[in-house]
Every structure is written in structure tokens, then in C-alpha cells.
Structure 1
Amino acid sequence: MAGGAVAASDRTNACTHLMDPNRKWYNNRRLMALHGWLFLLLITSSTNGYDGSMVNGLQSLTQWESYFHTPTKGKLGLLSAIQNIGALAGYPFAPYLSDGIGRKPTVFIGALIMVLATVVQTASQSVGMFIGARFLIGFGLTFAANAAPMLVTELSYPQYRATLTSTYNSLWYSGSIIAAWTTFGTFKINSTWSWRVPSAIQALPSVLQVLLIWFVPESPRYLVSKGKETQALRTLAYYHADGNENDPLVRYEFEEIKSAIEFDRTVTANVGWGSFLASPGNRKRVRIIIAIAFFSQWSGNGLVSYYLNKVLSQMGIEDPTDQLLINGVLNIWNLLWALLASSMVERFGRRLLFLTSAGLMTLFLTMQTICFARFKISGEVAGAHGALAFIFLFYAAYDLAFTPLIVTYTLEILPYNIRAKGFNIFNFTISVALIFNQYVNPIAFAALSWKYYIVYSAWLAFEVVFLYFFVIETRNRTLEETAAIFDGKGATEQIVDSAATHAGVTHELGIEEKDVVSHENESEK
């Protein structure tokens, strides 16, 4: 077992000395335009968040429950899990589309499928039709969710890459908020439109993407990989340097992208599925990616994310209006904490945020379990109130790392040639974890009540140990530098030196042996 890497030195972003200090997102028209296009990609996560919260809200609507004959246990689990089952069906194809036809067309295909599926969901006449529509929503979301965050991280201005990519998953809560308050607002509609309206609104982000995605620039890294270097350079120059193709930052970015892609193709043969097990660096990547994907869903958060009404009912909060109100407030609370954490990822680093998040979650879930137990065993109302308070504290802790960082960290540790496939592994793992949660949680919670929380409290303690030993700090690096540190100092220096030489700039890497994976140690595993 390799020890965890210490935090990187307190230096500024690796490309800071190449950037125009006067070029900011709020005073440069082309950066503002770029961020507008990136926002169109970021709202992909809102669609996913909307779905989870909508399912939560619909369970509190008597009109929805009566129309579908009050689904319970297995059927309720299927209604929640079917979206992720649909996602599983899309995983064999998503990375090949992203790498084959490009990030933009893949987002379009996914968004179009989701628009059509949402129409079917809104018009559902039976539970089977509703389930089928949700399957298609998950299928389409797979394509959009594979390509959109990659395009965000590959297009972003270096100074803002980590924050923007972290914002992607944080905006899950924006969709969740809209769904929560929509279901709260339609609660008093005395017809099936009380649940059809929320179903229809789910299509809005996808409709915007279908209409506008073709105006978004394509990933320069995708363009370089397809031999379209002139177009890649033009894209970088237009958005990162006001069209100046000889800008030092643009020249360095362009040459670093070319060097990294060529290095992975020719030196390390970092292509195809087999490469994930072929080298120590890739094996460590896969281990971390699978772990944080499972951790993001198996930390006790799945109970509240999809079954908040059941949890609140067990706490004695049974009024549907109160449940919907708590759901709405909780999602606003989550969004604020997640966006705050997104803005801090470069200041505090990934490792510190992961460890702080997991440690506080362990503490708060344990306290929530104790309060919940006191209420169920002795009927103390204060116990129920305490458990509710610790739900909010638990989510604040979760949002420090497991909302903003899981996508950011996964994408930045993967080299371009295997990024789409590696991100597919991440999303596939999340879907498997979610399907398990959505099927097992309602059954286990109904049978064990507060005792079920003990399982997650113990699991969280394991997460802290794993994260301490295996998460490596990656802050304040370019995308190519971050990916390369897993392949050793030599690989990183070769890519950076080649890029700096061809770009005609000086570039201080500032990397130390402690910041990279040790091939000697890893090869023993």
C-alpha cells in the first residue's frame, strides 16, 4: 500500500506566468462568451439532479401515488433505479462516440434522446410507460454526461478549469432545486398535471442544448487527436488570447496538447481498454476512479437523495407539505456549499477537501444515527429534530468534496487518449452503485429503520482510510501535467520540456518526487 502524497507546494497555477494578468472572465468578451458556452454544457448535470429530486417529490404527491397505485418496495426501487439501468445500456457506446465523432455531436445525441423521452414521460398513461420513458432518459443522459464535462475541462481557460469542472457536478443541485420547488408548487393541482408539469420541465436543459450546442467550440484536444491542428490552434487563440495565435500561453497549451497525445500514443501505448491494466500509473488511476465513484453514492447520501420522504416519515415528519418544503430547503443548502467548495479547489487542494469531507461525514452520520435511534426507541422529539439537523450538516460535509471534486479529479488524472473510456468507467461505477442503492435502500430501510445507518457509518470510516493512502494532490497544474504525474516524473518532464521547447517559452514545472506515483512501489502490486 502506497502512502498518500502530500499536498503540492503553494505555487500559483502552472501557466500563470504565461497568462495576461489583465485577462479575466468578467472583463474579456471572448472569455465571457466561452463561459456562456461552457454553462450550456454544465447544465447537463442539472438534468440528472432534477431527476433525483423529482422522484423524491413525486413520492410526496398523493396524485402521483394514486395514479400509479402507490408503488412500494420493489416497484418503487425500480421506478428510481430504471434511469440508471438505462444509463448502463448506453455505456458501451458513449466513449466511442465522444472520441469518434466529437464531444459536441455526442452531447447533441444525448440531449435529443432526453427531449423525446421526457415527452413520453409527461404523457405516460401507465406505470410501464413511465418506467420506459425514464429508461430512455438515462440512456440519453449517458452520452451527454460522458461528453459535456470533458468538453468543459478541455475548453476552459487554465486559470478557471478546476473551478468550472467542479461546478459541473455542483449544478446537480440546481436541477434538484428546480424539481423540488416545482413539485412543491404543483402539489395543490388536483389532477395528473401535478406530476406531469414537473415531468415536462425536466426537458428544458436538453432543449437548450439541442438548439444551441452547434455554436459551442469543439475540444482542441479532440481536434489535435484527429489531425485538425490548425483548427485546434485557432480555437485556443480565439478564446484564450483574443485571436492571437502567437500568444505564449496559446503556443504552450497547443504544444503541450500535441506532446501529451503523441507521448501516450507512441511511448506508453496509452490507448484502448487494455491500457488501464497495463501500467502502474493506469492501475492506480482505475483504483481511485472506481473508489471515489462508489464513495460518492455509498456514503449514506443515497437514502436522503432518493427517499427523503421515507426518512422524514420515520422521524415523525409525515405532512407532505413539510416534506416538500424540507426537500426544497435542503437542495438550496447543498448548492450553496457545493459552489463554495468549487471555488476553493485550487486554494485548498483535492486531498485536503476529500479527507475533510469524509471525516466530517463519518462524524455527522454517526450523530444522526444516535439521534434517530433515541427518537425511535424512546420517542424523544428532540432526537428527531437532532437527526434532521445532522442531515443538513452531513450534506454540508459531503458537498466539500464529493459533489464538486469527483468529476474534476477523474477527468484531470486521465490522459486524453483514455479520458473518455476512463470517464465511462467512472459513470458506469456510479450507475451500478446507484442501482444497488435504489433497489436495496428502500427495502433495507423499511426493515431496519435507524439501524441501517450503522452500516454506512462503518463504511465511511473505511473511506477515510482509503482516501488518506491513495488520493494524490493535483492542484495548480495544467490538464496535461496533472494526467502525467501518474506516469512518473520522467514522463511529466518529457511532455512539459517538449511543449516549452516547441512553444519557445520557459516553463517551471515545480514537480517533486513526492508528487508523483512511484513506479517502483506500484509495480510490486
Structure 2
Amino acid sequence: MAPPSFKPTEGATAFTELLDPNRTWYNNRRLITLNAWIVLLLITSYANGYDGSMVNGLQSLPQWEAYFNFPTKGRLGLLGSIQNIGALAGYPFAPYLCDGIGRRPTVFLGALIMVIATAIQTASPSVNMFIGARFMIGFGLTFTSSGAPMLVTELSYPKYRAPLTSVYNALWNSGSIIAAWATFGSFKLHSTWAWRLPSALQALPSLVQVLLVLFVPESPRYLIKKGKEAEALKILAYYHADGDENDSLVRYEFEEIRAAMEYDRTVVGNVGWKSLISSRGNLKRMRIIIAIAFFSQWSGSGLASYYLNKVLSDIGITNPTTQLLLNGILSIWSLICGLAASSTVDRFGRRPLFITSACLMTLFFTMQTVCFARFTINGSENAAHSVIAFIFLYSAAYNLAFSPLIVTYALEILPYNIRAKGFNIFNITISVALIFNQYVNPIALAALSWKYYVVYCVWLVCECIFLYFYLVETKNHTLEETAAIFDGVGATEQLADLAATHAGVVVVGADQVDEKGSSELVDKA
């Protein structure tokens, strides 16, 4: 079969016109199967969200507080942050496992550790064992949260890659919902099972992964990197073209991945940690990745995510039932907003969503601060109710971009040769930011009350400025094309030439690629 030659329409990615318009996620059996495997990977984020919301809910359970001797300030901060300290301990190993044994076995190993750790957490007779078990949960979560999203983005059908990867992080809220309502339901139990039951339920998604994840197909990019090209082509063909290895889309995907691998091997060469800062393009990537990771946790979101009960107590809402109910409703609201935003990432683009999200967050968090201050000064009940309203509005703004897009964006701007290491830096940054949030926030709230919110108001303005000047648009590009954007016109042209050499597809790279990520692909024929 002759290789395809085509001229994409303006604004389209190179593979757009190779997609079969009749092959959709709901009417193609193999796409349905592929997306079912992807759902199994997506529940990693559910497990992460469950943990965060469970800790939030446990703080409103008198049974939990009494059993652990009413932890406050430093001890409460440690109970919240120890999971992320455990995650930090796992990060030195995560990229080597992902690139060494594969994405799929790495997810399996992490899920197995989490199942064991959750069992220990549930049976904990003391606060020290509880803390140790949570450290293990964080350690295992590092491996699942490193391998799963990479496998999602590298395995997905091109048309659905960005929305599915965006759903990954948005599903954090699905775990948050189950945990919030589990703690609300167990509140009526007059024993330690009021907190042990929600803890036990935490193991369910990881247990499902342990049983099924080894049946998930491996990343074609990983297989090609390991020299297993026939197996990679078979997977691409089976899931993306009903088994047709000569399908135009499959050949284009396969040859572009091979070209990117060859470019990395012959031109880039260095794939060690030093490579993350060895070129101007990689420095741009690291700057953006570290920034959005910090922004995702240092925008005030950690206050409602982990210490909502403390925030509500500060505005006079101290009834545990009311606190748990608000926690559950907020989780549902956040999930709806996150999933809705995930469906729009390829329609509106990354820059508009990120910038709009940051500006709205700044507005709503500032109004929340003003209302909090008014309640503190004069005890206004209307001000307290307004704080709750702005918490919900802020959540909608946050979930417009920072919930669905941070993982998607981080993965798509990283070329394969540094994807595991770069994503590891992204996860480390989030964990460091979370440790700060979870340990410092309860101390700062106790000491400063509403005045602590002003710090976040100022920081949010800085975020808006950074995103406007430095964020690069990546809409409508394959993973390989997106990665080449950061390395300039030369890299784009070399990648296109290598792909043409392999496949016979006569396509040249961007005539012009600017920092906003615009590109034009033309047929030389």
C-alpha cells in the first residue's frame, strides 16, 4: 500500500484528515475496549482524590479525633502531609521503572503497595502506625500516578487523547465525592469503624487495578523504544484501525513515533537528568511544568480541599453534619465542573482556559477573603454565607483548567526521551507544594485567620501574569509535533523529514513556529 500524501486544512493537526469520521468511541468495538482499559488507568486519580477528601472528612469525625487524641497544628499537619512525604520517597525510582520495565508493570506495583498499605491503615491501633501506613500509600501512589497518565496519553486514539488525559486529573473529584459521602455515612457509627470503614474503602480502586491492569496493552512508544516495533504496530492497528496495519492513520502514527525516537537518538542524544536543562527548549518546558504544578496547589485550593472543616469553623459553621454535607456537595460540584471542562480542551485551547481560570480564581478568592474579613470583624451571617458561595465559584474557576489540564499539558509538551523524568519533576513539585499546604495551612489559619488569605490573593495575580507571558498553545498537535514546537523550526523540520524518510509521507515541518505554538504543515508535492 502506498504511503499517504496529504495537505491538512488550516488549523488542523497533521493526522486530522487521516481519521475515519465513522470511527467513534461509542460505535467501534475496539475503541470501546481501548477506552475501557483507559478507564482502569483513570481510577488512579480517583484513588488520589479519595485520600485527600477522606483526610478532610475524618477531621470532622469525633470518633477519629478522640481515637488519635485530638490532633492540632503540627500533628494535624503531619497526618495530612505524610502521604506526600511518602510520595517524595518514591520519586527517585518512578522514572526508571516507567522507562525500564514499562508503564503497565509500574502501575501494577504501585497499586499492590497501596492495597497493602491501606489494609495496615485500616487496622492501625495507634497514630504512629496510621502515619506509617499513609507514608506507604504515598509511596505506592507515586508509581501509579507516574505510569497511568503516561499510558493513557500514549495509548489513546488521537481524536480523544487530550480529553481523556484531561479527565484523568478531573477524576480526582470522583474519589473525593465517594470519600466525602463515605465519611458522612459512617458518622453515625459509634465506634472506631466510623473512620476505619472509609479507610478500608480506599483500597477498592487499587485492588481492581491489581487484578486487571496487566491485561492493559503497553504503550506503543515504550515498545518502539525497546525495539519491539512489530508489537507496537500491532497494538496501534488493533485499537486504532480495527487491525489494519496498513491503515493511513496507523502508518502515520507509527512512523512519526519512530522518527521522534530516531531524532532523540541521533540529534538529542542525552536522555539523563541533565537533559532536562541542557537545551533552551527543555528549559522552557521545565519552567512551565514547575510553574503549573506549583500553581495547581498554591492557589488557595488546598484550604477547601484539605481543611474545609477548619475554614467552616472559622465562619461559625461548627456542626459536624453540616460540615460533612458541604464537603460532599462541594466534591460533586467540582467533579461536574472538571468533567465539563475536560470536554472543551480541544475546542478552546490550553492558553484561553488557563488564563481565564487564573483570572476568575483571583476574583473569587479575593471576594472570599473580603467576606471572611467582614464576618471576622462584625460577625455578619450574610458574609459567612457569601464565603460558602465564593468557595463554590472558586472551585468552578479552578476546575476550568487546573483540574483537567495540568497533567495533559505537562505530558504533551515533553518528548518521549524525557517524558518520564520530566513528569517526575512535575509530580515532585506537586508533592512539595502539597506538603507545604498540608503542614503550614492549619498553623497559618490558626495564627492569622482571614489575613492568611491575602497571601494567596497576591500570589494569584502573579500566576495570571506568568501564564499570559509564558504559556505556549499546544492545541491540535500530536505528541511528537507538540514536543517539537519547543525546540524551534529546525527540530520540527528534522522530525518531519525523518518521518518522510520512514513512511514516504511528503510533509515538511512548520514554515514558522512561534511561542504560541502556531504551525503550518504543507505538502511539498
In which range does the TM-score fall when normalised by the shorter chain?
Answer: over 0.9
Q: Aligned pair count?
A: 510
Deviation at 1:457, TM superposition (A): 0.3
Deviations 1:276-315 (A, max 9, x none): 1110000010111110000000000111110000000001
Distance 1:10 1:400, change over 3 A: farther
- Give the aligned partner of residue 3 of structure 2: none
Deviation at 1:377, TM superposition (A): 0.2
- Give the aligned partner of residue 22 of structure 1: 22
Deviation at 1:508, TM superposition (A): 7.5
Is contact 2:492–2:510 with CA below 8 Å preserved after alignment?
A: no
- Give the aligned partner of residue 130 of structure 2: 130
Give 1:90's aligned amino acid: G
- Give the aligned partner of residue 461 of structure 2: 461
Deviations 1:369-390 (A, max 9, x none): 0011111101111100111100
Q: What does 1:144-163 align with in structure 2 at a 5 Å threshold?
A: 144-163=144-163
Give 1:46's aligned amino acid: Y
Q: Give the Cα separation in 2 of the matches to 1:340 and 1:511.
A: 35
Is contact 2:57–2:184 with CA below 8 Å preserved after alignment?
A: yes
Give 1:97's aligned amino acid: L
Q: What does 1:54-203 align with in structure 2 at a 5 Å threshold?
A: 54-203=54-203
Q: Secondary structure at the match of 1:237?
A: helix
Is contact 1:107–1:147 with CA below 8 Å preserved after alignment?
A: yes
Deviations 1:31-58 (A, max 9, x none): 0000000000000001110001000000
- Give the aligned partner of residue 291 of structure 1: 291
Deviation at 1:262, TM superposition (A): 1.3
Q: Secondary structure at the match of 1:146?
A: helix
Is contact 1:252–1:500 with CA below 8 Å preserved after alignment?
A: no
Give 2:193's aligned amino acid: W
Structure 2: stretches of 5+ with no match in the other structure: 1-8, 519-525
- Give the aligned partner of residue 373 of structure 1: 373
Q: Secondary structure at the match of 2:307?
A: helix
Q: Secondary structure at the match of 1:189?
A: coil
1:359 counterpart = 2:384: no
Q: Secondary structure at the match of 1:43?
A: helix
Deviations 1:38-93 (A, max 9, x none): 00000000111000100000000001111111111000000000000000100000
Give 1:67's aligned amino acid: Y
Give 1:488's aligned amino acid: G
Deviation at 1:501, TM superposition (A): 4.5
Q: Secondary structure at the match of 2:450?
A: helix
Distance 1:507 1:25, change over 3 A: farther
Structure 1: stretches of 5+ with no match in the other structure: 1-8, 519-525
Give 1:92's aligned amino acid: P
Is contact 1:281–1:517 with CA below 8 Å preserved after alignment?
A: no
Q: What does 1:2-17 align with in structure 2 at a 5 Å threshold?
A: 11-17=11-17
- Give the aligned partner of residue 4 of structure 2: none
Is contact 1:31–1:239 with CA below 8 Å preserved after alignment?
A: yes
Q: Give the Cα separation in 2 of the matches to 1:330 and 1:111.
A: 27
Q: Give the Cα separation in 1 of the matches to 2:475 and 2:112.
A: 36
- Give the aligned partner of residue 414 of structure 2: 414
Deviations 1:455-491 (A, max 9, x none): 0000000000000111000000001101111011221
Q: Give the Cα separation in 2 of the matches to 1:493 and 1:301.
A: 41
Distance 1:173 1:21, change over 3 A: same
Distance 1:516 1:323, change over 3 A: closer
**Bigger CA drift: 508-517 or 308-317?**
508-517
Q: Give the Cα separation in 2 of the matches to 1:162 and 1:501.
A: 28
Q: Give the Cα separation in 2 of the matches to 1:510 and 1:30.
A: 34
Normalising to structure 2: TM-score of the pair? Answer: 0.95
- Give the aligned partner of residue 278 of structure 1: 278
Q: Secondary structure at the match of 2:296?
A: helix
Give 2:147's aligned amino acid: A
Deviation at 1:139, TM superposition (A): 0.2
- Give the aligned partner of residue 301 of structure 1: 301
Is contact 2:473–2:517 with CA below 8 Å preserved after alignment?
A: no
Distance 1:300 1:511, change over 3 A: farther
Deviation at 1:499, TM superposition (A): 1.8
Q: Give the Cα separation in 2 of the matches to 1:319 and 1:233.
A: 58
Q: What does 1:34-49 align with in structure 2 at a 5 Å threshold?
A: 34-49=34-49
1:329 counterpart = 2:329: yes
Is contact 1:168–1:404 with CA below 8 Å preserved after alignment?
A: yes
Q: What does 1:175-324 align with in structure 2 at a 5 Å threshold?
A: 175-324=175-324
- Give the aligned partner of residue 476 of structure 2: 476
Q: Secondary structure at the match of 1:473?
A: coil
Deviations 1:301-359 (A, max 9, x none): 11111000000000111100000000000011000111111100010000010100000
Distance 1:127 1:10, change over 3 A: farther
Q: Give the Cα separation in 1 of the matches to 2:238 and 2:195.
A: 45
Deviation at 1:503, TM superposition (A): 2.5
Deviations 1:92-145 (A, max 9, x none): 000000000000000000000000000000001000010000000000000010
Identity %: 73
Give 2:475's aligned amino acid: R
Q: Give the Cα separation in 2 of the matches to 1:429 and 1:503.
A: 39
- Give the aligned partner of residue 521 of structure 2: none
Deviation at 1:495, TM superposition (A): 1.3
Deviation at 1:498, TM superposition (A): 2.6
Normalising to structure 1: TM-score of the pair? Answer: 0.95
Structure 1 residue runs of 4+, over 4 Å off? 506-511, 515-518
Q: Give the Cα separation in 1 of the matches to 2:482 and 2:514.
A: 14
Is contact 1:14–1:509 with CA below 8 Å preserved after alignment?
A: no
Is contact 1:248–1:503 with CA below 8 Å preserved after alignment?
A: no
Is contact 1:486–1:516 with CA below 8 Å preserved after alignment?
A: no
